[in-house]
Structure 1
Amino acid sequence: MRFGSAPVSVKRSRLYLRIIVLIFLALGTLLYLRPGNIFSEYRCNAFDFRSLNCRAEPPTASHVETDNALLKQTPNRPPNQAFRMNATFVTLARNSDVWNIAKSIRQVEDRFNRKYGYDWVFLNEKPFDATFKRVTSALVSGKTYYGLIPPENWSFPDWIDQDKAKKTREDMAQRQIIYGDSVSYRHMCRFESGFFFRQPLMMNYDYYWRVEPDIQLYCDLDYDPFKFMKEQKKKYSFVLSLPEYIETIPTLWDTTKQFFESNPGHLSPHNSMDFLSGDNGATYNKCHFWSNFEIGDLNFFRSQKYLDYFNHLDQAGGFFYERWGDAPIHSIAAGLMLDKSEIHFFDDIAYWHNPFTHCPTDVKKRLELRCHCNPKDNNDWKGYS
């Protein structure tokens, strides 16, 4: 069977169709090869990867973005932010501490806070400079706040005999007692004992986690300790306990006994006296929780019973006539005013602050939490613990 040739009109139609297709193909190719591709601003020319117009992927939302869908995908929006407790990290620091506190922040963020975005309060007796604020705010996943400590919280009270206090410092310097000649250290201990929890910025929170410059967290933290504290009704927690230098607190226990003799109602019936004394309270065994790491209930420290205790100690002048530290004061207050069940030991939080280490004792737990501490360095079972 033979096929005849197509009519002229059909040939013309096919020719026009081919021309139209070629035109569209040419336009499509030109549009695709343009640097500012109107179809996708994120397309990247493989041969022009250095082009300013070349972006490999869409930009993520910034801190100020408000679109919920974008926020969920943004790395600086922690996934568990909606489930946070009313809590904050708190650090007492100087401007010169900026790089050491930067190390601490990275430890805390990488091991825990990147998943939650808790706030961070920084306190200083002098105004924080721009460098400190810029560095720390860039590292913290939550909001950062910077508080200036009022002079009355960082100075000698009116009732302190300056000559007597000076003689104490000179005597301790001669005896080479650690920080014995330091005025600023005494102001710090007094501040941490009676004022940090009353700073205006801290009044916004119920729980705190104290972080010092140049610390390490050796393990991941796979739960929220603030939530644990609230749900388990804990009011004070620690990871390391040590004996205090008795030369720095010769009259602290006697002053404490005087207080509780006058205020027996402030003593918990189920207290931790056995931790503090080996003779039912007659003497102090020097044991204390190392307060450079502590997670606690701010409302305990704001309670009238704690404030009464602090005021009694403050009036006695031991911060300046001796060298009372905030660690034994926090420990004695928690040990005697709280129920035993309200104090918690965080064995699974691996921590280092020069020169002591806490490393979890459970081998399986260390592996699960990706710990990198040496269990032989664990201070828990050493003589000085």
Structure 2
Amino acid sequence: MAKFTIPVSSRRLYKLLGLFAIAIITIVIIVKGTDITSSLSGPIDGKSDYVQGSKKANAPKKARTKYDDKYKYVKYSIPEYKGEKVRATFVTLARNKDLNGLRETIKSFEDRFNSKFQYDWIFLNDSEFNDDFKVTMTALISGEVKFGIIPKEHWSFPSWIDQDRAADTRKEMKDIIYGDSISYRNMCRFESGFFWRHPLLDEYEYYWRVEPDTKLYCDVDYDIFRFMKDNDKKYGFTISIHEYRATIPTLWDTTVEFINLHPEYVAENNMLDFVSNDDGMSYNLCHFWSNFEIASLDFWRSDAYRDYFDYLDHAGGFFYERWGDAPVHSIAAALFLNRTQVHHFDDLGYYHGPFHQCPTDEKIRLANRCDCDPNRDFTWRGYSCGKKYYKVNNLAKPKNWADYSK
């Protein structure tokens, strides 16, 4: 049988037709791919909005804050929370260099709590946040993210401070933690008297303070802000501790002076017995560790706290000593709030080096998927003020608390 062959000229024609077909298919794929990319990332026009991607193919895209197009990304998607939220926000004081320390922290708080409720998050800095910081935080957070600059007058020496005296204090306190630091004093003064005055917080009732390099150990399946509001709680904490006496030698005396001028501000059912062991004659140094606090902004906006802070500020102790925002907040909460308005979140595992709060109740740890070691819990140890808080408020301690007190 004769072998069938295709003439050379025909083979060339078929080859050319094949190449043409491949080219057409390639063009179709490229065009389709561009459409898919555009549907995920939005228009590439140099001014694209950040959008929240969706797991549903036809779900509407939610516009985010505008940034340069070089930072386009697809934001992670979760079901929108449909419940009634409180006017509340997270607040973080940070610098651009804190970005690495914040990534894990933000993911912890989002995974454990905020992805379920999608509250806003405000970042404050004494200088402009860079694009890398803004883009990273916006991508990690489920709620709306806002960035603010601290006014210079809130992060500097006030006019009445004697600069020479303040400098001498820093020299004398050089061997005390942050004793020689100006920036730390600016931070303590800002957190005491100004963060809640920033315009970005004006629309909110409650806040949750979060700092870099902190962590939530346990799932939080209830709306903490709703809990605060519904139960008339004004201040919530996890860790309590004794302050360094050398940093606040005259803070209590200054507080007593203020109370003598304004006895009307002291709550009837106050918690003086938490901060003083002798009915107000002296300060026992107990305070709530304010790197974690969930509190009412209206409390700080009240006449009692405003007048108290202004009195302390003009006394100069933030610069002539090293008054911290933690004892200032704690003393104010103990004196100006009813004791029922202060709450210990014993179910929240929390870490800020070097201290841990880990629920000692195994049922709580297992139910909330806590990834912490109760043997490292600080609540019941000697330098903590946990036992003091529970005693003066007649609160029941966990059954096995003594096992974790050594």
Shorter chain as denominator, the TM-score bin is 0.7 to 0.9
CA distance in 2, matches of 1:90, 1:81: 23
Q: Given the two structures, how large is their TM-score scaled by the length of structure 1?
A: 0.82
SS at match of 1:323: coil
CA distance in 2, matches of 1:330, 1:78: 37
Note the alpha carbon deviations across 1:76-127, whole angstroms, 9 max, x for none: 3444254221100000000100111111100000101111111100000001
Q: Which residues in structure 2 correspond to 1:25-44 (within 5 Å)?
A: none
Alignment match, 2:185: 186
Alignment match, 2:197: 198
Contact 2:92–2:124 (Cα < 8 Å) also in 1: yes
Distance 1:128 1:361, change over 3 A: same
Unaligned stretches of 5+ in structure 2? 1-23, 43-50, 62-74, 385-406
Aligned pair 1:70/2:71, yes or no? no
Contact 1:209–1:295 (Cα < 8 Å) also in 2: yes
Contact 1:193–1:330 (Cα < 8 Å) also in 2: yes
Note the alpha carbon deviations across 1:299-330, whole angstroms, 9 max, x for none: 00011110000000000000000000000000
Note the alpha carbon deviations across 1:160-197, whole angstroms, 9 max, x for none: 00000000000001xx1000000000000000000000
4+ residue segments displaced more than 6 Å: 58-61
CA distance in 2, matches of 1:326, 1:274: 20
| Count of residues in correspondence between the two structures | 335
Distance 1:166 1:223, change over 3 A: same
Distance 1:78 1:242, change over 3 A: farther
Alignment match, 1:10: none
The structure with the largest alpha-carbon Rg is 1
Letter in 2 for 1:63: Q
Contact 2:53–2:76 (Cα < 8 Å) also in 1: no
- Root mean square deviation of aligned Cα: 2.6
- How far the C-alpha of 1:52 sits from its partner, in A, is 5.5
CA distance in 2, matches of 1:35, 1:360: 61
Distance 1:265 1:75, change over 3 A: same
Distance 1:78 1:172, change over 3 A: farther
Aligned pair 1:129/2:118, yes or no? no
CA distance in 2, matches of 1:180, 1:75: 43
SS at match of 1:159: coil
SS at match of 2:284: coil
- How far the C-alpha of 1:63 sits from its partner, in A, is 2.4
Distance 1:354 1:323, change over 3 A: same
Contact 1:92–1:122 (Cα < 8 Å) also in 2: yes
Note the alpha carbon deviations across 1:22-69, whole angstroms, 9 max, x for none: xxxxxxxxxxxx989x9xx9xxxxxxxxx959x9xx97995288x9x8
CA distance in 1, matches of 2:105, 2:251: 32
CA distance in 1, matches of 2:91, 2:376: 27
Contact 1:78–1:117 (Cα < 8 Å) also in 2: no
Letter in 1 for 2:156: S
Distance 1:368 1:214, change over 3 A: same
Unaligned stretches of 5+ in structure 1? 1-33, 42-50
- How far the C-alpha of 1:361 sits from its partner, in A, is 2.0
Q: Which residues in structure 2 correspond to 1:145-224 (within 5 Å)?
A: 145-173=146-174, 176-224=175-223
SS at match of 1:156: coil
SS at match of 2:294: strand
Instruction: Give aligned-pair identity as a percent.
Output: 54
